[in-house]
Chain A
Amino acid sequence: KQEVTQIPAALSVPEGENLVLNCSFTDSAIYNLQWFRQDPGKGLTSLLLIQSSQREQTSGRLNASLDKSSGRSTLYIAASQPGDSATYLCAAKGSQGNLIFGKGTKLSVKP
C-alpha cells in the first residue's frame, strides 16, 4: 500500500530565501507525482506534474524533481515571497489513477 510522507510538517523562512520541500513515497511503481498548493479554506491548485519517466519539471520559481528509485521528490522554491505562504501537498498516482497524498508542509514566508 502506497504511503506518502512530507517533511517538514511546517517551515518558516524569511522572504527571499530559497527552500526545499521533501516528499517520499514507499512504492516506486507510480505513474506520476503531482505537487499542489492549498491556501486556507480553499481547494487545491496544481503546481507541477512529473511523469514517471521524467526527472524534473520547472515552472517559474518552482522546480520539482523525481527520483523513483529512492522514492523521493523535492519541490524547490527560489527567492521565496510572502505570497508563497500556503500548505504544499505532494501526491503520487497509483495504478488505479487515484492520488495518494502526503499530509503537507505548511510554509510561512515572513516579510
Chain B
Amino acid sequence: GAGVSQSPSNKVTEKGKDVELRCDPISGHTALYWYRQSLGQGLEFLIYFQGNSAPDKSGLPSDRFSAERTGGSVSTLTIQRTQQEDSAVYLCASSRDAYYEQYFGPGTRLTVT
C-alpha cells in the first residue's frame, strides 16, 4: 500500500518568507508526527497529532512554527518568517496509534538563503 508522502521534496526560500510543508500519512493511521533533522544533529521531535488534536506541541522550537491536521489525515507544518537556522530536513511519520510502529516519509529538505 502507499506509504507516507511529503511535499515538496525540496524547498529553497529566502529568509523572512513563510513556508508550508505537507504530509500525507498512511490511510487509517490516527497518529502523525513531525520531526526535524539538521545537519550534524540528531532527529528532533516537533509535534504529535492524535486525530486532529495535538496533545504534544512541546518540541516546536519557536512561535514561528505551527502545524495543523484536518480530517484526521493530511497535516501541514508552517514556518513563518523563516530563518537560516530553520534549514533542515523535515520528516513526517504516522502510526496506527500512538504506541505502534512509526513509518516515515522521505522528508522535505528546506534551505533558507
Contacts and interface: CB of A to CB of B under 8 A. Distances in A.
A16 B45 CA distance: 36
A44 interface: yes
Nearest to B48: A98
Interface in B26-58: 31, 33, 35, 41-43, 45, 48, 50, 55-56, 58
Contacts of B106: 42-43
Interface stretch (B11-19, B61-69, B74-82, B96-104): B96-104
A78 to B, nearest CB: 23
B8 interface: no
A97 B43 contact: no
A43 to B, nearest CB: 4
A99 B42 contact: no
A89 interface: yes
Interface string A11-36: 00000000000000000000110101
A72 to B, nearest CB: 18
Contacts of B103: 46
A100 interface: yes
A59 interface: no
Interface of A: 31-32, 34, 36, 42-46, 49, 89, 91, 93, 96-104
6 contacts: A46-B102, A49-B101, A97-B50, A98-B48, A99-B93, A102-B42
Interface of B: 31, 33, 35, 41-43, 45, 48, 50, 55-56, 58-59, 91, 93, 95, 98-99, 101-107
